[in-house]
Structure 1
Amino acid sequence: MQLSDISKSLIKYCLFLFNLLFLISGLGLLIAGIVVLNDVEDFNHFLDGRITAPPILLIITGCLIFLIAFLGCYGALKESPSLLMTFAVLLGIIFIIEIAVGIAAITFKNDLRDILNNQLQKSMSRQSKEDMMAWDTIQRKMMCCGIDGPRNWFDINNGNASAIPPSCCRPQYIDRDTMNCLNAAPLYMDRMYQDGCVAKVHDRVASNAKILIGVGIGIAFIQIMGIALACWLASAIKKET
């Protein structure tokens, strides 16, 4: 049964309005990806790029959504079945990508603590220049020290408290001339950050993973409506031509 002109116009403009909303959602994905990427980039050294892959994929998806939304708007206004079906197929591909990102983020979130603990232990054992730069970054940014606390640095350096990185030191106890911790050996427990970095980084990354999961999956299911509207309008136009 053919749709009336009024019904077809209603679907067409509903699809057009949906694409405007879809355009805004693409901007949301783009912003969420950039915010998360900027926040977790400092931890990338310890996670071999796995931590930056989901937000980068979300940024790419957000950019693709912009292009696809314009195609959907144009196809709806021109009443072109081929453009509408192309829009629906591309929307389906984006939907699958977003679900994959959400699943990857959930899996990564579940394994995060073990991965972090292993990588930080390896890095602490190596103590290369790159490792120590990365440690200094997260210890200052997260106000933490070692894996579980400053005792880790003390133990791995055979009881040498002076080997504890100055980045573990609370700001008020840093010697501004040498940038070392003042009298770290006798008083390091009071002058160092007491929280371990595994717990701090885990909480930060897990919080960002929730953002990716919520934004990615939430917008993905909204797209089902767009696919249905595009297919419905394309079918109605074909029947009348």
Structure 2
Amino acid sequence: MKGCELNLIKTVLFVFNLVFALSGLGLIIAGAVVLSDIGEFGHFLEGRILAPPVVLIVAGVIVFLVATLGCYGVIRESYYMLMAFALCLLVIFIVEFAVGIAAATYKNEFRSALRDVMMTSLNNYEKSKADKVAWDNIQSRLECCGVEGPNDWGDRRPASCCFAPRDNAPTPNQDQCRKAQPNDEYLYSYGCIYELENKAESGSKVLIGVGIGIAFIEIVGIILACWMASVVKNKE
């Protein structure tokens, strides 16, 4: 009877580890997608915003390695390796939970911190090449202007706030863009802070969804590993 139970849990746990290894790859892919989406605007984002996808990528690598340990422990029917596998899953679960709490806590401060960073960078547009490149890039890519709108620039509004109103029409130069009014058809009227917030929020939803799914898998893995470790110990 014990042999049948051991063979059953051994098969189930081995299949689980294969799924777990694939979930590790899923973590790496999800983290890389989110990081590539918001990373190009990292000039305006604090490390705390870019940290979750990086943590997710690192967690994915660790998950893949831990899954390998789990498979080896199943094949060897090693009590100590199985318990080490369960402990690793528990540690990963706790780390993910802590990162989730930290991200949720920081969410309330995000808008205020982002606005301060963007306003400081905007004021340095003429002084710093890095700030100039960052602003021209974000305004062109996200089709926005200023922090909360074109008026943030005053009479310093750059040409990247404007676009060609029609096909084959020339893009307004800086002088034309500077004189443009908010209702002009070729002036981006939406503030960049809103676009960045939307990108960060979309990224966080992806990370939260993937994180919850992996956390559920980890709990199942802890239960299965402890179960097999118990059966192995009783057999010995």
TM-score by length of 2: 0.90
Aligned partner letter, 1:104: A
Q: State the shift of 1:4 in Å.
A: 2.0
Q: State the shift of 1:108 in Å.
A: 3.2
CA distance in 2, matches of 1:171, 1:24: 46
Q: Deviations over 1:116-150 (max 9, x none)?
A: 11111121223222112111121111110001111
Q: State the shift of 1:50 in Å.
A: 2.2
Q: Percent identity?
A: 48
CA distance in 1, matches of 2:124, 2:187: 22
Q: Which runs of 5+ in 1 are unaligned?
A: 155-159
Q: Deviations over 1:87-129 (max 9, x none)?
A: 1111111111221222233233332222211111121223222
- Counterpart of 2:217 in structure 1 is 222
- Counterpart of 2:130 in structure 1 is 130
- Counterpart of 1:98 in structure 2 is 96
Query: Cα gap change, 1:123/1:232 in structure 2, threshold over 3 Å: closer, same or farther?
Result: same
CA distance in 2, matches of 1:25, 1:171: 45
Aligned partner letter, 1:212: L
- Counterpart of 1:231 in structure 2 is 226
CA distance in 1, matches of 2:31, 2:218: 19
CA distance in 1, matches of 2:180, 2:78: 75
Moved more, 190-199 or 95-104: 95-104
Contact 1:43 1:134 in 2 (8 A): yes
- Counterpart of 2:43 in structure 1 is 45
Root mean square deviation of aligned Cα: 1.9
| SS of the residue 1:183 aligns to | helix
Is 1:169 matched up with 2:167?
A: no
- Counterpart of 1:89 in structure 2 is 87
Moved more, 60-69 or 163-172: 163-172
CA distance in 2, matches of 1:67, 1:86: 13
Q: State the shift of 1:232 in Å.
A: 1.2
| SS of the residue 2:189 aligns to | coil
- Counterpart of 1:25 in structure 2 is 23
Q: State the shift of 1:217 in Å.
A: 2.5
- Counterpart of 1:55 in structure 2 is 53
Is 1:199 matched up with 2:194?
A: yes
CA distance in 1, matches of 2:100, 2:158: 37
CA distance in 2, matches of 1:44, 1:187: 29
Query: Cα gap change, 1:185/1:92 in structure 2, threshold over 3 Å: closer, same or farther?
Result: closer
- Counterpart of 1:69 in structure 2 is 67
CA distance in 2, matches of 1:165, 1:182: 8
Q: State the shift of 1:184 in Å.
A: 2.4
- Counterpart of 1:35 in structure 2 is 33
Moved more, 167-176 or 228-237: 167-176
Moved more, 99-108 or 86-95: 99-108
CA distance in 2, matches of 1:171, 1:228: 60
| SS of the residue 2:48 aligns to | coil
- Counterpart of 2:118 in structure 1 is 120
Contact 1:19 1:70 in 2 (8 A): yes
TM-score by length of 1: 0.88
| SS of the residue 1:99 aligns to | helix
Count of matched residue pairs: 230
Contact 2:161 2:177 in 1 (8 A): no
Moved more, 103-112 or 69-78: 103-112
